[in-house]
Amino acid sequence: MAKGLKSESGAESASRTKPGRTARPKFRRRAKARPDEVLDAALDLFMEKGFAATRVEDVAQRAGISKGTIYLYFPSKEALMEGLIHRALSPIALKAVNTIEMLNVDPRTILKALGGMVGKQLSDPRVVAIPKLVIRESANFPELAAMYRREVIDKAMPSLIKLIERQVRSGRFRPVDPELAVRSMIGPIAIHLLLDEVFGIVPEGGLQMDKFIANHIDILFNGLSATPEQEHE
């Protein structure tokens, strides 16, 4: 459905078959940036069509090189996937979390700062792409999912849980289950992106990551209820 010809424009008009052996568009670049360029191309395509539906040749073409060249830098198609995750994980630099963890100030301030950072990060398609890819291909690359979990989730989640625990203990948060509360904290952000990326559903006025996060934090802290005297159930 709707894939149709490769139809890269169709402007070639005349030209016809052999685009001319005369033209020598062979680039001979020094290899150095190559692996990264290849990964960039791969990421684009894996996101666009999924790992399985992307041909190595597609990646090559998008990277502006030939099929064989890919194999100069990556031993297999799978290695592209792995390289992608590895590259993204190295500088994960979620020191933000660590930092946050140490702060002992007003949680609202902390979360607002954290929300701002996360919001900024997630506004970069390149960044969202990685977890999205991991989720999508997790069944075929359980190792990668595990690694992502180890490197990212298992680092971030406990920090947040501890943050909540501390606030509960200090009486600044109501006595909620920290492990479940975390989900109330991060879930909305995930669904916000998901609705956009998968279904093209965006609130009026665009994604507005910042505004959305602010709105969410507000609800998170104050709840939806208008009256302070909530039932104690």
Partner DNA sequence: AATGAATGAGACTTCATTCAT
Partner DNA sequence: CATGAATGAAGTCTCATTCAT
The alpha carbon of residue 86 and the mean position of all alpha carbons in its chain are separated, in whole angstroms, by: 13
Burial tier of 39 (Cβ tally within 10 Å: 0-12, 13-18, 19+): buried
Quote the DSSP letter at residue 14.
S
Which residues from 101-160 bind DNA, rule CB under 7 A? none
- In whole angstroms, give the CA distance from residue 157 to residue 153: 6
By CB under 8 A, residue 116 contacts its own copies = no
Contacts of 148 (CB under 8 A, 6+ apart): 85, 89, 130, 131, 134
Q: Which is nearer to DNA, 58 or 216 (CB)?
A: 58
Considering the complex, state which of residue 128 and residue 157 has its C-beta at the smaller distance from its own copies: 157
Q: Which is nearer to DNA, 85 or 100 (CB)?
A: 85
Binding to its own copies, residues 2-31 (CB under 8 A): 2-7, 10
Binders of its own copies among residues 127 to 166 (CB under 8 A) are 134-143, 145-146, 148-149, 153, 157, 164
Question: Which one of residues 120, 123, 125, 179 is an interface residue with its own copies (CB under 8 A)?
Answer: 179
Residue window 48-87: x/- pattern of binding to DNA, with contact defined by CB under 7 A: -----xxxxx-------xxxxx-xx--xxxx---------
> Among DNA, its own copies, none, what does residue 30 contact (CB within 5–8 Å per kind)?
DNA
Residues 17-46 that bind DNA (CB under 7 A): 17, 24, 26-31, 34
Helix (H) or strand (E) holding 141: none
Question: 37 vs 101, which CB is nearer to DNA?
Answer: 37
Kindly state the DSSP code that residue 65 receives in the 8-state scheme: S
Q: What is the DSSP string of 26-80?
A: ---PPTTSHHHHHHHHHHHHHHHH-TTT--HHHHHHHHTS-HHHHHHH-SSHHHH
Backbone angles phi, psi at 64, to 5 degrees: 75, 25
Residue 124 interacts, among its own copies, DNA, none and using kind-specific CB cut-offs from 5 to 8 Å, with none
The residues that touch DNA, with contacts defined as CB under 7 A, are 3, 6, 11-12, 17, 24, 26-31, 34, 53-57, 65-69, 71-72, 75-78
